[in-house]
Amino acid sequence: MNILIPFAKPIIDDEEFDAVKAVLESGMLAEGKVSRELEKEYATFVGSKFATVTSNGTTALSTALDAMGVKPGDEVITSPFTFIASANSIAMVGAVPIFIDVDPDTYNMDPNLIEGAITEKTTAIMPVHIFGLPSDMNRIMEIAQKHDLQVIEDACQAHGAKVGNQIVGSIGHTAAFSFYATKNMMTGEGGMITTNDEEIMDRALMIKNHGRGKQGGYSHFQIGYNNRMMDIVSALGRVQLKRLPKVTEIRRKNAERYNKLFSEFDEVTPQAEPEGLQSSYHVYAPKIKSDKISRDDLIKEFRERDVGARTVYALPCHKQDTYINIQNWRWAKFVNYPDYSNISLPHSEEVGGSHFDIPVHPSLTDDQINIIENAVREILS
């Protein structure tokens, strides 16, 4: 079927073409000067002391965890209601994802459940700012400080989102961002680590680049990976970063319009945006609870009206075969994993079963938003 209004639409303009062309013409395609510029600009934007690019958001998370000293057998408390890369990055360093339930209104990790999940093996907490809404970072940082734990923000969906006046990525000990093709700031594939901790950044730089020292060359000091990002890609990122404040503003305006619309319908509840938190609205994801129409039929009805609606994470991480069958994972020989099949996290399952996502991206025209609004009225009235 031809979907008239796509769920996501990357903005690629003359500026992107020119920036990529300049890198191609320079003949220096791999990570170098342009990436250093993007890192400086991104750190300034976020308000963190240090930033480094990575090949994608997953490697940003795994590299940062590794650089923080999270090691095999450690437990990392995280949210199950997320893209599986959040949990997988924990498993990739040999650590154990410990899922706690989400708040049913914000869909983010419920901070009231953190202390009950802490054991002597816990070394870190990974809040995920889902759909662009920051987690309750003030509470999470307080708890982390009390128990001497580190915090890594999974900010892969939350470029420019705010907690008070702080932009996410500057609050936890580290943060990871994704520049995947559909993200608010995108480069196709790409990622970024931010931190205020110089030692963590130094370790991250080694880990992402085969354990090379700062001087480069062919002296290597530890096992590392190739998690670098190309300058061609960073060139796109620099243009996208300049555009990000405007993009966020438009997404927030579109979301406000939808919030107003859905206030007319008791059966629909938008994702809450608690006082003091500002979502980047990567995804606009209200929940539907109705005797008349199921979530999946609602999405079908939207799509029949050429609205690219969808849902994600119907199966939260603990319900995925990856974790049900974790004993097949190579680290399971050395690390004790919980039996994830016994875990019930009702709020994450409820959110996964009831949210529907409609286009909120900045390229939506007024006419398209009108089509979406009319579709909502037609389907729900």
Ligand X SMILES: Cc1ncc(COP(=O)(O)O)c(C=O)c1O
Report the interface residues with ligand X, using CB under 6 A: 56-58, 82-83, 85-86, 128, 154, 156-157, 178, 180, 191
Q: Which own/partner pairs from 216-220 qualify as long-range (CB within 8 Å, at least 24 positions apart)?
A: none
Residue 57 or residue 286: which is nearer to ligand X going by CB?
A: 57
123's tokens: 């070394």
Residue 28 or residue 312: which is nearer to ligand X going by CB?
A: 312
Q: Please tell me what DSSP assigns to residue 214.
A: T
Give the shortest CB-61-to-ligand X separation in angstroms.
6
Residue 182 or residue 259: which is nearer to ligand X going by CB?
A: 182
Residue 80 or residue 369: which is nearer to ligand X going by CB?
A: 80
Residue 86 or residue 254: which is nearer to ligand X going by CB?
A: 86
Q: What residue type is 67 in one-letter code?
A: A
Residue 31 or residue 375: which is nearer to ligand X going by CB?
A: 31
Following DSSP, what letter does each residue of 264-324 receive, concatenated?
A: T-TTEEPPP--TTEE---SSB--EE--SS--HHHHHHHHHHTTB--B---SS-GGGSHHHH
Give the shortest CB-226-to-ligand X separation in angstroms.
15
143's tokens: 């708890």
Coil, helix or strand at residue 32: coil
Which helix (H) or strand (E) segment is 78 a member of? strand 75-78
Give the shortest CB-156-to-ligand X separation in angstroms.
3
Give the shortest CB-127-to-ligand X separation in angstroms.
10
CA dihedral over 48, 53, 59, 63, signed as positive or negative: negative
81's tokens: 């209601």
Q: Considering only CA atoms, which of 140, 219, 127 is closest in space to residue 175?
A: 127
Give the shortest CB-77-to-ligand X separation in angstroms.
16
Query: Which residue's Cβ lies closest to ligand X?
Result: 57
Give the shortest CB-378-to-ligand X separation in angstroms.
31
- 238 phi and psi angles, rounded to 5 deg: -65, -40
Residue 209 or residue 368: which is nearer to ligand X going by CB?
A: 209
Give the shortest CB-80-to-ligand X separation in angstroms.
12
Distance CA 126, CA 39 (A): 22
Give the shortest CB-130-to-ligand X separation in angstroms.
7
Give the shortest CB-111-to-ligand X separation in angstroms.
18
305 touches 375 (CB < 8 A): yes
Residue tagged 């943060």 (tokens): 175
253 touches 57 (CB < 8 A): no
Distance CA 379, CA 367 (A): 18
239 touches 19 (CB < 8 A): yes
238's tokens: 């620099």
Residue 233 or residue 376: which is nearer to ligand X going by CB?
A: 233
262 touches 376 (CB < 8 A): yes
